[in-house]
Each structure stands twice: as structure tokens, then as C-alpha cells.
Amino acid sequence: MKQHLRVAAYAVCVQDGRILLARWVARDGTRRWTLPGGGMDHGEDPVGTVVREVAEETGCTAEVTALLGVDSMTTRRPGRFGSGEDFQSLRIVYEARITAGEPRPETDGSTDLAAWHPLDSVPALARVSLVDIGLELWRARPALGRVDGSVHGTG
């Protein structure tokens, strides 16, 4: 089975009791809210990645204020002509504050909308598990930078 590792950086932007989220569009058209962020380019610094991704996905300028933690997710993907792929996503989660801009849709990307959401409305949103992981890291600020000792499945 082919193995694939993707390293990505995401931002938890909480201001005035609201969190900034981007709406991710899956290949099947399903739309779920996620933290703004995404994959690192080769040679790119993770802080630079998250600042770039927040700008691309939300139209806002972000300043990273803290490293919250790291999350690892594994997924097995079926292959069209073979044994498939064992996919691992290593997700670096930062706290960031928005210094300029208003949320706007991403152009030609994997998200179609960006918006501020009241923190108490998050449980009712259709969202990926990374939103909950990011908020838990933001609230708990665990010494080891992990929500728990487990590796997460799809989400």
C-alpha cells in the first residue's frame, strides 16, 4: 500500500467571542466548516504557511500569536487500480489574530466561504473534527500540544 504524508498548518482565530472558519468543499460536494489553513509548500515555514492560507481562504491578514499543538490523522484511501493509499495528515495548529480584512470567499480553492461564527454556535455547525480539536487545544493549552494521546481517524 502506498504511503502519503501531508503536513499542513491551521489557525484558530478567536476574537470577540467568535471564531473565523472557512467552508471546505469535499470532492463529493459536501460542505463543512474548517479552520483556515492548508498544506505546506516544499521549503515553506509552517508559520508562513498558515499566514498565507488564512489570506487565501478568508481574505484576512493573520498574525500568529502561539503554537497550540500538533494533530495527526490517518486515513486509508481505496485505489482505482491497486491497493490504495495509507494517508497521514500532520496538522500544526496555531493561535492567530486577524489584523486586517473582512472574510470573503476563496477564488479557485478548496473552500467557498469564510465567516465569523459565535463560539456557542459551533456545535450546531456541519464541521470537520479539526474545528473541535483546534478549539480544545485553544481552551486547554496542553503542555504536550495534544488533545489526547490518540491518533485520529478521518476528519
The model's pLDDT over 118-145, given as tens digits with 9 standing for 90+, comes to: 999 999 999 999 999 999 999 999 999 9
Q: Are strands 31-34 and 85-100 parallel, antiparallel or unpaired?
A: unpaired
The model's pLDDT over 22-42, given as tens digits with 9 standing for 90+, comes to: 999 998 999 999 999 999 999
Contact yes or no for 24/32 (Cβ under 8 A): yes
pLDDT of 110 above 50: yes
Look up the pTM and report it.
0.90
pLDDT band at 152, cuts 50/70/90? low
Q: Regarding predicted confidence, which is higher, 114 or 107?
A: 114
